[in-house]
Structure 1
Amino acid sequence: MLHDSLKIGSVEGLLSQEEITHLAGRISEGLGDGSRFDVVDRTRSVHSLAGEGLDRVKEVYEPQGRVEYDEVQPDVTKLLNDAVTRRMNDLHKVFPSARRSMDWLYVEYGAGQYVTPHVDYPFNEIAPDRPKIAAMGIVLREADSGGAFFVETGGGNALWNEDGGIKENANVHSPWFAGMRRTRWHVTCRAGDALCWGTQLVHGTEPVTAGRIGKFIGFLGA
C-alpha cells in the first residue's frame, strides 16, 4: 500500500469547463476578497511543525504568504469527490490502493508567493488504519507565468529510515533536509487537470511571477 505513496501521476480533464466555471463562482462567493484566509494574517495554517509556533510555520512553508480557504462548501466537496470517483479507474493505474478522496482545501498564490519543499506523510489522524496514499492538486485557475509545481528526489539514503519510510521532519526547517542535495522535477497543468503525488514525495511550488494561480488540494485515502 505505501509503495503507492512514492508515485506520481495525473488525470487530464478531471473537471469539465462547466464544472470549472461553477467551482470558480462558488469559491468567489465564499472567499470574498480573500483577506480572511490570507496565511499572513490567519491564526491557523494547514501546515505544522513539531514544537514550533504558527509564525515559524508560516516562515518555513509559505514565506510570502498565500490564501488557504478551508471552509469549502459541501456542494463543492461533493462535486470534487464525484469527479474523482468518475475517474477512479484511471487513478488506479498508478495508485491501486486508493479508495476515496477527502480533506479538500482551496489555495491561491499571487506574484512572489510559493511553498517550500516538504513531505505530507501518509498518516491519517482521523482514521490511522486508512493512510493517505497521495495528495491531489486540481488546477482551477492558471497563473500568467510561474507557480510551477515540483517534486524533488535524491539518490542517497538521507531521506529514508531503515524500514523504507521517509524520515520525520522532511522540510526546510530541518538542517539535515535543508542541506541535502536534491534534484527538482517541474510540472505544469492546465485548468481542470489533476496532478497526484505520493504522500512520501518531497514537493512544493515555484514562485508565481505574474497573475494568480488557484487550485484545490485534497488526498486520496486507502
Structure 2
Amino acid sequence: MIHMTETLAVQTIEGFLTGEETAQLIKVLDEHLAATGWIPARPSEGMTPPEPAQAILDSAMRRALPVLHRVFPSATGTDPWLYHDLKPGDKIRPHVHGVGDPQARPQRIARVAFNLQDAESGGEFYLDTSADGALWNDVTATVGSDYAPGTRFVHEITARSGPVNLSDIAHTRWTCTPPPGTTVVYGTQLVHGVLPVAQGRVRKLITNLLA
C-alpha cells in the first residue's frame, strides 16, 4: 500500500553516478546532441536520451533503490529518463504533477532529478510548501485503492493550466543546492520549479519514480 507521505517526501542520493559513469553519460549525450541538433523549444521541454544513456541511469537507480526504500518503500522502478538543458534566462515556473489517476497502474509517486551540470549562477531547484487548500482536490482514496484510505490528492497544476495560479498563493520556498552529481527525489504532490539561470548551463535528467 502506498502511503501519502511517499508523495510528499524528499530524499537525496549523493554520488548517484561514479566519475566514470558521469563522464560516459556526458559523452553519450554530447554526441547525441551534436548528431540531432536538438534545441528545446521551451525550458520545460525534455528530450529522450539514447539507450546507452538510459542504461547508465537505470543501473544507478537499481543501486539506489535500497536507499530510496527508506523513504519511498513502495518504489519499484522508473519511467524512461528525459534530458533537460537550460541556458541563461531559462526558468521552470512552479508546478505540481500530482499522482494522475489514483487507480492507474503503475503509480507515479515521486520525481527523480539527476544534476548532471549546475549553472555558475542561478538555476537552483526549489520546492514550495503551502497551507492553501486550493492546491487539493476533493478526491480521497477508498478501501481497495493502492493508497491508504483517506489519502488526499493535489490538483495537477502547470504554468498554463489548473484551478489556481501557484505564484499567487502564499507559500514558503525551499531552495536546494545539492553537491555535484546528486540526485534529488521529491514526492509527486510537491510544488517545485527551477530559478532563472543567470550564468552558465543547467543539465538535468528527470524521470518518474513508480510504485
Give the Å deviation of 1:210: 0.6
Structure 1 position 37 matched with structure 2 position 13: no
Paired residue for 2:64? 87
Change (3 A) 1:33 1:210: farther
Is the 8 Å Cα contact of residues 99 and 153 (structure 2) preserved in structure 1? no
* TM-score calculated relative to the size of structure 1: 0.81
Deviation at 1:200, TM superposition (A): 0.9
Q: Which runs of 5+ in 1 are unaligned?
A: 41-64
2:165 is matched with: 177
The 1:145/1:193 distance shift into structure 2, 3 A limit, reads same
Task: Tell me which of 170, 182, 185 is aligned to 1:193.
Answer: 182
With the length of structure 2 as denominator, give the TM-score of the two structures.
0.85
Q: CA RMSD in A?
A: 2.1
Q: Does 1:165 align with 2:153?
A: yes
Query: Which SS does the other structure have where 2:81 is aligned?
Result: strand
Which amino acid letter does the alignment assign opposite residue 212 of structure 1?
R
How many residue pairs align between the two structures? Answer: 195
CA-CA distance at 1:15 after TM superposition: 0.5
> In structure 1, which of residues 10, 18, 26 is the aligned counterpart of residue 20 of structure 2?
18
- What percentage of residue pairs aligned between the two structures are identical? 31
Mark the CA change 1:103 to 1:120 in structure 2 (over 3 Å): closer, same or farther. farther
State the distance in 2 between where 1:25 and 1:66 align: 23
Q: Does the CA contact (< 8 Å) of 1:138 and 1:217 recur in 2?
A: yes
2:164 counterpart SS class: helix
Alignment of structure 1 residues 101-120 onto 2, 5 Å: 101-120=78-97
Task: Give me the whole-angstrom Cα distance separating, in 2, the residues matched to 1:177 and 1:171.
Answer: 8
Q: Which residue of 1 aligns with 2:111?
A: 135
Unaligned runs of 5+ in 2: 141-151
Cα separation, 1, equivalents of 2:18 and 2:38: 29
